């Protein structure tokens, strides 16, 4: 199965990589259409930053940011391109689904009853604490065993509760050190083997700048982490993950086309 590309559309002033670029609804809609033209099969719209240390956004403000964008995109996107809502707020999720979203991307792990009621797929993600606290000394005895076990239990609960499809996301960068992130990426074949579709989001994240610094040893800024982002996206696809969540759609689509071709050739050999 080919790995799907989910394009990130942050309609926020403070996201870690592109905060403020698409806060204006017209620019956000234009970017969503551009990502679809580049090959994104899902556009993930979020109105609240979840970067480490980010403060919560009032519900009314989050709704104001995302709903006009969702409605406009639903009217203009080509057939076959899905909209996703990235939120932890029940009311925002409800109204976003009514506005045209057909996938619920939930870092809190709590909104599956809404997905069951609406009969839409749900993304179950692992996170320690909240965006305000998650990077304060995260500790695990065995990060893959703990994260993958948590996701398996959560997926089973949601499916038993009526959610039609559950994607599991190990939550790279959400309550993990660089070493934890790398261990989870190495362990992706084990998560895929659980039988649930796996979503991975590493795009432009801070740990990539640690693993792949500039020649002078400094961490490159988020937009300069494209090569590292592509490396982890292609790794996820090669491991059998179902979806990658990215900022840079066009180069990721190209890279995954190569990975898909190679996987087909290996499978036919």
The residue with greater pLDDT, 268 or 44, is: 44
Q: pLDDT value at position 129?
A: 66
Residue 269 confidence class, pLDDT cut points 50, 70, 90: very low
Active site residues: 205, 245
Q: pLDDT value at position 17?
A: 61
- In tens, the pLDDT along 184-206 reads 999 999 999 999 999 999 999 99
Residue 56 confidence class, pLDDT cut points 50, 70, 90: confident
Residue 20 confidence class, pLDDT cut points 50, 70, 90: low
pLDDT, mean of residues 1-24: 81
pLDDT, mean of residues 123-134: 78
> Roughly what angle, to the nearest 10 degrees, separates helices 25-38 and 249-268?
20
Residue 127 confidence class, pLDDT cut points 50, 70, 90: confident
State the sign of the Cα–Cα–Cα–Cα dihedral 220, 222, 225, 228: positive
Q: Find where tokens 């809502």 sit.
A: 85
DSSP conformation letters of 67-118: HHHHHHHHHHSPTT-EEEEE-S-HHHHHHHHHTT--EEEETTS--HHHHHHH
Identify the DSSP state of 27.
H
Average pLDDT, the chain: 92
């Amino acid at each position: 199965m080919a790995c799907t590309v989910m394009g990130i559309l942050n309609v926020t002033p403070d996201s870690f990589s592109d905060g403020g670029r698409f806060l204006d609804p017209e620019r956000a809609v234009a970017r969503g259409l551009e990502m679809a033209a580049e090959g994104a099969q899902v556009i993930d719209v979020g109105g609240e930053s979840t970067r480490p240390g980010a403060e919560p956004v009032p519900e009314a403000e989050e709704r104001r940011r995302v709903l006009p964008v969702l409605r406009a995109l639903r009217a203009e996107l080509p057939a076959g391109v899905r909209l996703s809502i990235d939120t932890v707020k029940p009311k925002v999720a409800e109204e976003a689904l009514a506005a045209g979203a057909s996938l619920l991307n939930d870092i809190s792990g709590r909104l599956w009853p809404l997905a069951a009621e609406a009969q839409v797929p749900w993304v179950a993600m692992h996170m320690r604490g909240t965006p305000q606290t998650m990077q304060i000394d995260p500790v695990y005895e065995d990060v893959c065993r703990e994260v993958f076990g948590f996701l398996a239990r959560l997926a089973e609960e949601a499916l038993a509760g009526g959610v039609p499809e559950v994607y599991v996301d190990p939550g790279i960068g959400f309550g993990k050190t660089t070493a934890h992130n790398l261990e989870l990426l190495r362990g992706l074949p084990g998560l895929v083997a659980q039988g649930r579709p796996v979503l991975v989001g590493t795009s432009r994240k801070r740990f990539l700048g640690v693993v792949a610094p500039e020649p002078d040893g400094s961490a490159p800024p988020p937009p300069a982490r494209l090569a590292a982002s592509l490396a982890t996206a292609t790794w996820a696809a090669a491991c059998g993950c179902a979806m990658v969540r990215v900022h840079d759609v066009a180069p990721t689509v190209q890279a995954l086309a190569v990975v898909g071709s190679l996987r087909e050739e290996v499978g036919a050999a």
